């Protein structure tokens, strides 16, 4: 499958260790499906949740809103929901790319598909 949106969103230029693609655009909402090489465990969920929280902390400390973010564990993946409503346009790419870059610090990710 060819992912033409990867270039438009800039995912193909991030230098991630795992495969990442943008499958669709859904307005200002992004749903990251995070798949692990050996399946999802509680430990991998916690590691993912911590990586996202650490990414957000400096922005929260500076009162820079990067959107509503929710991290949940599903049957076979971690799902990260990002809603960019009311985000300053200068920070939209920061949020979209920052989540992927934060995930680059989590070991064992096989792939991430945005808006699968």
pLDDT tens profile 97-111: 999 999 999 999 999
**For residue 26, what pLDDT band results from cuts at 50, 70 and 90?**
confident
What SS3 class is residue 62? coil
pTM of the model: 0.93
Q: Is the pLDDT of residue 53 over 80?
A: yes
In this predicted structure, what is the pLDDT of residue 34?
98
In this predicted structure, what is the pLDDT of residue 4?
83
Q: Which of 106, 112, 101 is nearest to 43 (CA)?
A: 106
Q: What is the pLDDT averaged over residues 20-35? A: 94
Bridge partners for 21 per DSSP:
113
In this predicted structure, what is the pLDDT of residue 3?
66
Copy the structure tokens of residue 69.
């973010």
Q: Is the pLDDT of residue 17 over 80?
A: yes
**For residue 2, what pLDDT band results from cuts at 50, 70 and 90?**
low
37-52 pLDDT, tens per residue? 999 999 999 999 999 9
């Amino acid at each position: 499958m060819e992912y033409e949106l990867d270039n438009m969103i800039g995912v193909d230029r991030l230098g991630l260790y795992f495969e990442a693609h943008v499958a669709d655009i859904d307005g200002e909402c992004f749903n990251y499906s995070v798949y692990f090489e050996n399946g999802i465990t509680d430990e991998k969920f916690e590691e993912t949740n911590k990586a996202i929280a650490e990414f957000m902390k400096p922005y929260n400390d500076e009162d820079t809103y990067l959107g509503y973010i929710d991290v949940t564990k599903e049957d076979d993946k971690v799902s990260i929901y990002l809603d960019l409503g009311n985000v300053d346009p200068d920070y939209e790419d920061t949020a979209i790319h920052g989540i992927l870059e934060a995930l680059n610090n989590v070991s064992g990710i096989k792939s991430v598909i945005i808006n699968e």
